[in-house]
């Protein structure tokens, strides 16, 4: 299935959906499938500054632990607290209720570093590592 | 369906499913205490007492049967083949246990006066020397309690060395993506920033990527050799030269020394410091979480920084000492002494030729498994391996059968599953390390099981997806167990 075209992607399999200056961040369907059953998501507190392509949290599945990379720099303005009790939402609805954080964008120019849905789908079709 | 030996009889195992709390009956006791023959002391004040401490009340034979039935559900290297990659689950000779339980070793106290423990210190001193000979290094310390602590020790030694040489700005450690997962963690714990170096298509370190990343900020490169792909790094001498020319040091993860024991030495390859896992390569039992031992061996320029203690020989016998610029202590007392006894006994019993035979058989066995299974399972790096081989079950995944399912199905055939989903660079990885202690018949039985499972994945994938079928409990819900763990008795 093609990735949703209404957002941008990283090669580390995060997505960001922009609304004005705030971007909602999650991981892709491909990433949740590769990771398998998610058991824990560690997210930063509201107010923390994150930098593009630096880790903002960790995700743990029955198979592995992986870093979560920030698609854009800025301040964390909201965190999906529901994942604390229900990390399986990342598996069930990675593009919806499985969202992780919202970042107030520091530099709009950074969006140019991200992949479009088409570019991301081509990237995983070439056999990217999860 | 065909099953191999060693599977538990589900009926027999049934008692293991009952919890001791279920069997509890009020007033039942395992022991009768003699009548009180001292004055009765008043109980502690009531505000200090727990209102209810729910313990099972059982008779002695119920307790014995309960724990015996649980123990019979265990799988160990003494019950069967245990090809858990990267863990070197070799058979551990029982004579080592006998030696480690000799009173002179088992009953000494770490604070005894040194003239009363010269035998124990003799053993430690000579083990230090033997490990230096095996690794081609100048000095060693037996202090680290496990492999990862050995890594941390090595990183702290490098940090102290650089500080003493006015190179404190070097705060980056490079770790190839085929390294043990503990390597980046150890470097980070020692206060370094970790940068990952990719592997190339052959599974070797990408030399161009390494060249670009080496620079005045780089303190060290941590190399696992052989890598977690079970592959030797053919460019190791060139890598050592590049690292040293850039002013950095080379750390070796020698946890899987089983691959070239007695045949190649870290010191000769250009490493500055290396750790060994005595509980893997040198046959101390492990798998239950220890105790282990992860000695560090180094070249002379790092010797002043070795962790405390090291044993030295003086005119008045052996003594424990602290190297002049030591990074200090890693744990209480002197390391896991009886693990050291087992390793020493193992090395002395095998001798030089015996140790060479260990690596010969470990490598031949892994390549035998590689060759027998490569028609049925995808082999991402199709070249001779060392002590272990990594397959990918991507072919089976097309039928909806994952590496996890194949691992679970192996339990039905009587085998411990291999390591799954590691290394991370291989999708659907199964990492198989047969070790040197298995016969050809055992390897054949394992390979036949793997081939049968590959056929099942084609013909009746649901049998594999729903495995195991022969254990007291079927597929456990690991995700819910991790998401919402129940850690104590929930009954009334």
- Cβ contacts from A onto B, under 8 A: 29
Convert the pLDDT of each residue in B112-135 to its tens digit: 999 999 999 999 999 999 999 999
The pLDDT score that the predictor gives to residue B73 is 87
Q: Which residues of B126-164 are buried (b: 16+ CB within 10 A; e: fewer)?
A: bbbebbbebbbbebbbbbbbbbbbbbbbbbbbbbbbbee
**Per-residue confidence (pLDDT) for residue B9, from 0 to 100:** 46
Report if residue A76 sits inside a domain.
Answer: yes
CA distance A120 to A114: 9
Beta bridge mates, B175: B196
Is there a domain that residue A4 lies in? no
CA B317 to each of CA A55, B115, B118: distance values in angstroms, whole numbers, following the listed order? 54, 8, 7
Q: CA B329, B330, B333, B338 torsion: positive or negative?
A: negative
| A98 inside domain | yes
Yes or no: say if A98 and A61 are a contact pair by the CB < 8 Å rule. Answer: no
CATH classification of the domain holding A107: 2.40.50.100
Give the DSSP per-residue string, B409-440. Answer: HHHHTT-PPPEES-STTSTTEEEE---TT--H
b/e B412-446 (16+ beta carbons within 10 angstroms → b): bbbbbbbbbbbbbbbbbbbbbbbbbbbeeebbebb
Q: Shortest CB distance from A62 goes to which of B424, B425, B482?
A: B482
Instruction: With CA atoms as reference, report the closest residue to B437 among B53, B80, B63.
Output: B80
Q: What part of B 190-249 touches A (C-beta under 8 Å)?
A: none
Residue to substitute from A32, A62, A82, interface B, most B β-carbons within 10 A: A62
Mean pLDDT, chain B, whole residue set: 92
B428 CA to chain A: closest CA distance, Å? 9
Contact list, B483 vs chain A (CB under 8 Å): 39-40, 87-88
- Quickly list H helices, A36-125: 82-85, 89-92, 117-125
Q: Does residue B154 lie in a domain region?
A: yes
Q: What is the side-by-side strand order in the sheet with A22-27?
A: A8-9, A14-19, A22-27, A101-105, A74-79, A49-50
Q: Does B175 touch chain A (CB under 8 A)?
A: no
Q: Which residues of B touch A63 (CB under 8 A)?
A: 404, 420-421
On whether residue A53 sits in a domain, the answer given is yes
Nearest CB to B424 within list A62, A64, A88: A64
In 10 A of CB B29, how many CB atoms?
Answer: 10
pLDDT of residue B491: 73
How far apart, in whole angstroms, are the C-alpha atoms of residue B350 and residue B347? 5
Judging contacts by C-beta atoms under 8 Å, the chain B residues touching residue A62 are 478-479, 482
Structural domain includes residue B221: yes
Task: Tell which B residues from 395 to 414 touch A, by Cβ distance under 8 Å.
Answer: 404
Q: What is the pLDDT of residues B4-60, one digit of tens each?
A: 334 444 444 444 467 888 899 999 999 988 999 999 999 899 888 877 778 899 999
- What's the pLDDT score for residue A12? 94
What was the pLDDT predicted at B16?
Answer: 47
Asked, for residue B198, whether it belongs to a domain, the answer is yes
Name the residue of chain B whose CA is nearest to A86's CA: B483
Residue B50 in contact with partner chain A when CB distance is under 8 A: no
Strands A101-105 and A8-9, bridge-based pairing: unpaired
Please tell me which of the candidates B421, B479, B483 has its beta carbon nearest to residue A64: B421
Instruction: State how far the Cα of B477 lies from the Cα of B334, in Å rounded to an integer.
Output: 42
Residues 6+ apart with CB under 8 A from B149: B294, B330, B331
Half-sphere exposure of B350 (CA within 13 A, CB side): 23
The dihedrals phi and psi of B217, each to the nearest 5 degrees, come to -90, -10
Long-range contacts of B13-18 (CB under 8 A, 24+ apart): B13/B69, B13/B72, B13/B73, B13/B471, B13/B472, B14/B472, B15/B65, B15/B66, B15/B69, B16/B69, B16/B70, B16/B72, B16/B73, B16/B472, B17/B472, B17/B473, B18/B66
**How high is the pLDDT of residue B60?**
95
Residues of chain B with C-beta less than 8 angstroms from the C-beta of A38: 479
For residue range A23-78, list pLDDT tens digits in order: 999 999 999 998 989 999 999 999 999 999 999 999 999 888 889 999 999 999 99
- The parent domain of residue A80 ranges over 9-125
**The pairing of beta strand A74-79 with beta strand A101-105:** antiparallel
Contact B425 A129 (CB under 8 A): yes
Please state the domain count of chain B. 1
Q: Is B186 on the interface with A (CB under 8 A)?
A: no
* Residue B100 C-alpha from the chain's centroid: 20
The answer to whether B224 touches B269, Cβ cutoff 8 Å, is no
pLDDT tens figures, B209-219: 999 999 999 99
* Of the partner residues A39, A129, A130, the one whose CB lies closest to the CB of residue B479: A39
Residue range(s) defining the domain that contains residue B196:
95-350
Give the CATH number of the domain where residue B206 resides.
3.40.640.10
User: How far from chain centre, in Å, is Cα B161?
Assistant: 28
pTM of the model: 0.86
**Confidence label for A128 from pLDDT (cuts 50, 70 and 90):** low
Q: What is the pLDDT of residues B156-215, one digit of tens each?
A: 999 999 999 999 999 999 999 989 989 999 999 999 999 999 999 898 999 999 999 999
Residue A97 is predicted with a pLDDT of: 97
pLDDT, mean of residues B278-289: 87
Task: Using a CB–CB cutoff of 8 Å, tell me whether A128 touches chain B.
Answer: no
Q: How many CB atoms lie within 10 A of CB A42?
A: 15
* B425 and A CB contact within 8 Å: yes
**CB of B405 within 8 A of CB of B439?**
no
Which chain B positions have a beta carbon within 8 Å of A60's beta carbon? Answer: 482
CB contact under 8 A, B483 and A88: yes
Q: What are phi and psi of B321, to 5 degrees?
A: -145, 170
The shortest C-alpha distance from A115 to chain B (Å) reads 21
Which pLDDT score, from 0 to 100, does residue B467 have? 96
> Is residue A2 a part of any domain in this protein?
no
**pLDDT per residue over B129-153, tens digit each?**
999 999 999 999 999 999 999 999 9
Mean pLDDT of B419-439: 94
The answer to whether residue A118 sits within a structural domain is: yes
Residue A130 falls inside a structural domain: no
Predicted confidence band of residue B104 (pLDDT cuts 50, 70, 90):
very high
- pLDDT value, residue B348: 97
- Count of domains forming chain A: 1
Interface ipTM > 0.90:
no
A62 part of a folded domain: yes
Q: Is the pLDDT of residue B232 over 60?
A: yes
Whether B482 sits inside 8 A of A40 (CB atoms) is yes
């Amino acid at each position: 299935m093609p990735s949703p075209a209404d957002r941008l992607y990283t090669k580390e399999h995060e997505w960001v959906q922009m609304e004005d200056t705030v971007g909602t961040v999650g991981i892709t369907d491909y990433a949740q499938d590769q990771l398998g059953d998610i058991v824990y998501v560690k997210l930063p507190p509201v107010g923390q500054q994150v930098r593009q392509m630096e880790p903002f949290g960790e995700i743990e599945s029955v198979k592995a632990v992986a870093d979560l990379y920030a698609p854009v720099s800025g301040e964390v303005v909201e965190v999906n607290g529901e994942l604390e009790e229900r990390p399986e939402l990342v598996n069930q609805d990675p593009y919806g209720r499985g969202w992780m954080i919202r970042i107030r964008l520091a530099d709009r120019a950074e969006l140019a570093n991200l992949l479009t849905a088409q570019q991301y789908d081509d990237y995983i079709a070439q056999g990217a590592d999860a | 369906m065909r099953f191999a030996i060693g599977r538990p009889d589900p009926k027999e195992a049934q008692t293991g499913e009952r919890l001791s709390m279920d069997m509890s009956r009020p007033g039942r006791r395992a022991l009768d205490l003699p009548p009180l023959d001292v004055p009765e002391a008043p109980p502690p004040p009531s505000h200090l007492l727990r209102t209810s401490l729910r313990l099972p009340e059982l008779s002695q034979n119920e307790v014995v049967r309960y724990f015996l039935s649980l123990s019979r559900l265990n799988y160990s290297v003494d019950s069967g083949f245990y090809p858990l990659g990267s863990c070197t689950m070799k058979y551990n000779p029982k004579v080592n246990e006998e030696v480690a339980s000799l009173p002179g070793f088992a009953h000494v106290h770490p604070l005894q006066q040194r003239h009363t423990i010269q035998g124990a210190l003799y053993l430690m001193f000579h083990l230090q020397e033997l490990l230096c000979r095996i690794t081609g290094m100048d000095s060693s310390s037996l202090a680290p309690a496990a492999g990862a602590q050995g890594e941390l020790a090595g990183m702290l030694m490098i940090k102290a060395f650089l500080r003493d040489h006015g190179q404190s700005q070097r705060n980056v450690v490079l770790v190839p993506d085929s390294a043990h997962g503990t390597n980046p963690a150890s470097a980070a714990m020692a206060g370094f920033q970790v940068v990952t170096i990719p592997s190339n298509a052959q599974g070797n370190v990408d030399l161009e990527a390494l060249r670009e990343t080496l620079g005045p900020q780089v303190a060290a490169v941590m190399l696992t050799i052989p890598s977690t792909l079970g592959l030797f790094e053919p460019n190791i001498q060139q890598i050592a030269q590049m690292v040293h020319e850039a002013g950095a040091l080379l750390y070796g993860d020698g946890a899987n020394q089983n691959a070239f024991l007695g045949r190649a030495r870290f010191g000769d390859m250009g490493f500055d410091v290396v750790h060994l896992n005595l509980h893997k390569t040198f046959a101390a039992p492990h798998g239950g979480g220890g105790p282990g031992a992860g000695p560090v061996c180094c070249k002379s320029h790092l010797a002043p920084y070795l962790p405390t203690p090291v044993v030295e020989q003086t005119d008045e016998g052996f003594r424990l000492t602290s190297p002049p610029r030591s990074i200090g202590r890693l744990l209480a007392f002197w390391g896991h002494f009886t693990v050291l006894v087992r390793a020493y006994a193992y090395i002395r019993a095998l001798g030089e030729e015996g140790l060479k035979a260990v690596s010969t058989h470990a490598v031949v066995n892994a390549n035998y498994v590689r060759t027998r299974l490569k028609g049925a399972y995808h082999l991402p790096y199709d070249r001779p391996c060392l002590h272990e081989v990594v397959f990918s079950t991507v072919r089976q995944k097309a039928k909806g059968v994952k590496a996890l399912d194949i691992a679970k199905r192996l339990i039905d055939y009587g085998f411990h599953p291999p390591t799954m989903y590691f290394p991370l660079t291989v999708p659907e990885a199964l990492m198989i390390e047969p070790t040197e202690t298995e016969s050809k018949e055992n390897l054949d039985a394992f390979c036949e099981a793997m081939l049968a499972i590959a056929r099942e994945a084609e013909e009746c994938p649901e049998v594999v997806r729903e495995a195991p079928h022969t254990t007291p409990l079927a597929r456990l819900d690991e995700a819910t167990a991790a998401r919402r763990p129940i850690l104590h008795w929930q009954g009334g």
